[in-house]
Structure 1
Amino acid sequence: MNSNDLKAVVARFNREVIQDGNRESFEDLMAPDFVNWSAPSETLRSAETMWKTFACVLRPAIAGMQVHIHEQLCEGDKVTTRKTISGKHVGMLAGVEATGKDISIDVIDIVRIRDGRYFEHWGVNTLAAVVAQLRQA
């Protein structure tokens, strides 16, 4: 796959999985031996745990979720993406009841692609800062 193909895989994941919540696309795009190196412990590094983060944590808490990709860089089999996940805070998020406020979570992640599927992931985001702001509201 060339760099444009690799970037397209990541863009598809962001649009279909994170933004739209499409489980079938998630299954199509995840390698069976996927590892999320950003997870806080080894037991949470699986693809299923990543799905639950989107489906059970973010999607119920953020209505009208949109993913805006600002920039993608590709080197070898890795795609780095700078993006913003945004929407309205309508449900429990990290212990904070719905505020009705618009929120934006900035994310930078690196995804290693193998055979057109997510194989490894590393990332940082501003979720903790967003939650801290919501607690002050």
Structure 2
Amino acid sequence: MSDSEANKAIVRRYFEMFNSGDLSQLADIVSEDYGDKLEGQTSGIEVVRSYLQGLKASFPDFTWTIEQIIAEGDRVAVMNRVSGTQVHDFGDIKATGNRVDFAAFQFYRIADGKLAEHWEVADFAKFQEQLTAKPAATAFKSFQNALKD
């Protein structure tokens, strides 16, 4: 198996682990000093463990579905769908029972056979809109609407 294929397999294993809700293999997949570059996140495996447990607690059926995966060198890029139903509070958002479904793009760096760093761009505006059932008045939507006039 090539390095690129092995790196993609690590990311697939991470997604499968999260989807199953069984984080017992997290230390086999994620480095101790895992650097999650999401807004507000700090580094470390226990930070990511807490984050993943929190997501599954709020959205027990949360799944990450890989739509495309590309690897080169020590980097793996993933385009995926994120979906689930909010049955418990998520931060300060009370449980809504709403289903969410949105696109996300992750970029991982692999080191020594484990996930070492993670960057993500996701449609968090759509996620928020689906939870609150209020259309988000984003700058981009306003711009699109102005073009139609």
TM-score by length of 2: 0.79
- Which residue of 2 is the match for residue 61 of structure 1? 58
- The alpha-carbon deviation at position 39 of structure 1 amounts to 4.1
- The higher-RCO structure (CA 8 Å, 6+ apart) is 1
Count of residue correspondences: 133
How high is the sequence identity, in percent, across the aligned residues?
24
Q: Which moved more, 1:123-132 or 1:85-94?
A: 123-132
Partner of 1:115: 112
Partner SS state of residue 45, structure 1:
coil
Who is 1:101 aligned against?
98
As a proportion of its length, which structure holds more strand?
Answer: 1
Give yes or no for contact 2:74–2:111 (8 Å, CA) kept in 1. Answer: yes
Unaligned 5+ segments in structure 2 are 135-149
SS of aligned partner of 2:24: helix
Once the two structures are superposed, the pairs formed by residues 1-137 of structure 1 within 5 Å of their partners are 1-16=2-17, 18-40=18-40, 44-56=42-54, 58-136=55-133
TM-score scaled by length of structure 1: 0.85
RMSD: 1.8
User: Which 4+ stretches in 1 moved above 4 angstroms?
Assistant: none
Q: 1:63 to 1:24 in 2, by over 3 A?
A: closer
* Alpha carbons 1:61, 1:93 under 8 Å: kept: yes
